[in-house]
């Protein structure tokens, strides 16, 4: 028996599940090219292994091919052209176009509304997402002006749907792309990940979700002799069994006695951070942890059975608490895109039979709809303008106690700050060259709040300003709130003072004014007869 195996059998602490997890590749988002060059483990871990079993051909029956998917998108565009448009964000390694469907009552026109994106099929061998997203698009088209939720989403948001991010992997029936790279460990340099990153630089998204087939939980079992154990798929119907040496793990490559069971993944809504600071499996909260947990619950509680998970309380999990990954899309969205993204495990099987897709759609439909509607029905929304020009300002919105900011748009000055409801927040609008303004709000449950800011240029500092210009529990319909009230009050005082000065001036100069008046209008004297 191998000495290493003896050590592992009698000293189980010599190995941990951490050795099976990806080595840190990109620290919560991305590495610079120089850092990548200095970190050979990043390149090794983002490339996948060729020895994983292939998806049987019969399992793919009933799923749309890439050509059929492209045709379905074109047919949808023709059927629902009044509330949609299709556009490309780039191409895959093998040149397949990455098509996006935008659904809105004003598609292609920028509005002061939240934007949401769904991404499917990031992993080529997890095709459920691409099928569900086409069903979602068609459902919205068929139910617009019939169903209140469909109508709300179409009229009050811009929904962008990328059915497949990895069409090459789907064709190859592998997790990675045509370069054998796991796109969810890759941000930032594969054609598909570059396309998504450029997309986010052009389009401002409030929130997002990517749909996956499963994120398998890994269990490690040690056996003295593989041949004598006789384990197989038929003995473990919920698991697939692979010899550890076929997985290419450097620490175990020579030990055929090990078995790694990749069990069917749980249904769960996963939120940031996906990576921990020191690569340990631990809860690693991002600044907006409360908001992300609320967002994940919106999906889980709307799902038919996700919230009933035995493994994950409520059907939600922090990514690093489950197992850390690096170079992932979810963390990159939050850090670099100002976008709140979830990773959704919507099927406990990577490639379920096609006749199960309709059931999966029914189980996930309300979750998908409510997640988009969440960006409309809750959170803090408003505009930021200049007091001197009334022009929109791309200012930052900062919540006291949360180390994160959301920026308003340049065109409309609108912002959409998602927050956990039923809490009090101190909100500040800030921009270089302008005086910051703050107010305290109470965000109610299931009710969005509208809060606009009017910022004064710094050159007006000499004028009288209130230190805290307004503080209100604002009505959603109130546009400029008390900020405009005080601004209007200042204007009234100014006009009244000007009128009083004008009257005083008239009293002092009354004789001169009378002489001028008499000179211009001399009294007419009747002639003597």
Asked whether residue 8 carries a pLDDT value surpassing 70, the answer given is no
Q: Which CATH superfamily is domain 63-219+261-375 in?
A: Zn peptidases (3.40.630.10)
Rounded Cα distance between 97 and 192, Å, is 10
pLDDT higher at 232 or 518:
518
Model confidence at 169: pLDDT above 90: yes
3-state secondary structure at position 54 = coil
Query: For a pLDDT cut of 70, what percent of the chain falls above it?
Result: 69
Phi first, then psi: what are they for 440, rounded to 5°? -110, 135
Pair 60, 169: CB distance under 8 Å: no
- Fold type of domain 380-457: Immunoglobulin-like (2.60.40)
CB atoms within 10 A of CB 371: 23
* pLDDT tops 60 at residue 44: no
- Distances in whole angstroms, Cα of residue 391 to Cα of each of 46, 414, 453, 463, 480: 46, 12, 12, 21, 14
**pLDDT average, residue stretch 94-121:** 98
Give the least confident one: 72-81, 206-215, 464-473, 508-517. 464-473
Q: What per-residue confidence (pLDDT) applies to 501?
A: 77
Q: Flag whether pLDDT at 398 surpasses 90.
A: yes
DSSP string, 423-460: EEEEEEEE-TTB--EEEEEEEPTT--EE--EEEPBGGG
Q: Mean pLDDT across the stretch 296-315? A: 96
Q: What are the extents of the domains in the chain?
A: 63-219+261-375, 380-457
Q: Which residues face 265 on adjacent strands?
A: none
Predicted confidence at residue 330, as pLDDT, reads 96
User: In the prediction, which pLDDT does 41 show?
Assistant: 41
d(CA 311, CA 172): 32
Number of other residues whose CB lies within 10 A of the CB of residue 469? 21
Closest CA to 25 of 271, 193, 216, 262: 193
Predicted local confidence at residue 355, as pLDDT? 95
| 67 burial via Cβ count (<10 Å: 0-12, 13-18, 19+) | exposed
- 100/76 Cα distance (integer angstroms): 12
- Is residue 440 exposed (0-12), middle (13-18) or buried (19+ Cβ within 10 Å)? middle
Per-residue pLDDT, 56: 75
218: closest CA among 73, 363, 19? 19
Whether the pLDDT of residue 156 is over 80: the answer is: yes
Q: What angle do CA 241, 246, 251 make, to 5 degrees?
A: 105
CB 364 within 8 A of CB 432: no
- Cα atoms found within 13 Å of the Cα of residue 381, Cβ hemisphere only: 22
Confidence band, pLDDT 50/70/90 cuts, at residue 529: very low
Taking residue 91's Cβ as centre, other Cβ atoms within 10 Å add up to 15
Q: What is the pLDDT of residue 380?
A: 98
User: What are 109-122's pLDDT values in tens digits?
Assistant: 999 999 999 999 99
Section 74-88 average pLDDT:
98
At 504 the pLDDT is 78
In the chain, what's the furthest Cα-to-Cα distance?
A: 149
Q: What is the pLDDT of residues 406-428, one digit of tens each?
A: 999 999 999 999 999 999 999 99
Q: If you average pLDDT over every residue of the chain, what do you get?
A: 79
Q: Which of 408, 379, 407, 406 is closest to 391 using CA atoms?
A: 408
Q: Is the pLDDT of residue 214 over 90?
A: no
- Tokens 């698991």 map to which residue? 239
Whether the predicted pLDDT of 200 surpasses 60: yes
Cα–Cα dist 401/424, whole Å: 11
What average pLDDT does range 345-363 have in this prediction?
95
Write out the catalytic residue numbers.
345
Whole-Å CA distances, 508 to 499, 501, 503, 504, 505: 15, 11, 9, 6, 5
| Predicted pLDDT of residue 317 | 98
Judged by average pLDDT, the poorest of 161-170, 219-228, 376-385 is 219-228
Predicted pLDDT at 60: 80
């Amino acid at each position: 028996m191998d000495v290493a195996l003896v050590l592992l059998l009698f000293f189980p602490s010599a190995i941990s599940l951490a050795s099976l997890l990806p080595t840190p590749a990109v620290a919560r988002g991305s590495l610079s090219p120089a850092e990548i060059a200095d970190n050979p483990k990043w390149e090794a871990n983002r490339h996948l292994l060729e020895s994983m079993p292939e998806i049987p051909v019969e399992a793919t029956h009933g799923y749309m091919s890439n050509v059929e998917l492209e045709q379905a998108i074109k047919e949808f565009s023709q059927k629902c052209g009044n509330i949609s448009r299709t556009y490309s964000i780039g191409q895959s390694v093998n040149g397949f176009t990455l098509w996006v469907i935008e659904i809105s009552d004003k598609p292609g026109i920028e509005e002061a509304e939240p934007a949401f994106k769904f991404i499917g099929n990031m992993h080529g061998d997890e095709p459920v997402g691409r099928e569900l997203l086409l069903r979602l698009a068609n459902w919205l088209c068929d139910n617009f002006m019939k169903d209140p939720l469909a109508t709300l989403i179409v009229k009050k948001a811009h929904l962008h749907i990328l059915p497949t991010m990895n069409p090459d992997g789907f064709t190859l029936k592998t997790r990675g792309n045509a370069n054998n790279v796991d796109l969810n460990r890759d941000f930032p340099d594969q054609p598909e990940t570059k396309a998504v990153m450029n997309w986010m630089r052009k389009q401002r998204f409030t929130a997002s979700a990517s749909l996956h087939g499963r994120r398998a939980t890994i269990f490690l079992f040690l056996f003295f002799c593989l041949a004598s154990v006789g384990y197989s798929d038929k003995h473990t119907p919920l698991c697939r069994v692979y010899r550890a040496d076929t997985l290419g793990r450097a620490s175990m490559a020579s030990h055929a006695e090990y078995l790694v069971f990749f069990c069917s993944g749980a249904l769960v809504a996963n939120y940031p951070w996906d990576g921990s600071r020191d690569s340990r499996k631990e809860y690693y909260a991002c600044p907006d942890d409360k908001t992300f947990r609320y967002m994940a619950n919106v999906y889980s509680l709307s799902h038919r059975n996700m919230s009933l998970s035995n493994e994950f309380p409520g059907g939600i999990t922090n990514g690093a608490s489950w197992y850390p990954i690096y170079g992932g899309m979810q963390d990159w969205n939050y850090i670099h895109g100002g976008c709140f993204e979830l990773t959704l495990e919507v099927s406990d099987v990577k490639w379920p039979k096609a006749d199960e897709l309709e059931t999966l759609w029914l189980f996930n439909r309300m979750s998908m709809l409510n997640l988009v509607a969440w960006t409309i029905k809750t959170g803090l929304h408003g505009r930021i303008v200049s007091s001197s020009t009334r022009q929109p300002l791309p200012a930052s919105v900062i919540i006291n106690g949360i180390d994160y900011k959301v920026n308003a748009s340049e065109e409309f000055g609108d912002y959409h700050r998602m927050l956990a409801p039923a809490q009090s927040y101190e909100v500040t609008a800030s921009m270089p060259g302008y005086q910051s303004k703050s107010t305290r709000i109470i965000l109610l449950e299931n009710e969005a709040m509208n809060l606009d800011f009017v910022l004064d240029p710094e050159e007006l500092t000499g004028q009288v300003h209130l230190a805290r210009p307004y503080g209100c529990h604002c009505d959603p319909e109130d546009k400029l709130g008390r900020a405009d009230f005080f601004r209007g009050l200042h204007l009234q005082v100014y006009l009244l003072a000007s009128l009083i000065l004008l009257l005083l001036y008239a009293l002092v100069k009354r004789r001169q004014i009378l002489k001028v008046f008499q000179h211009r209008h001399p009294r007419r004297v009747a002639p003597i007869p």
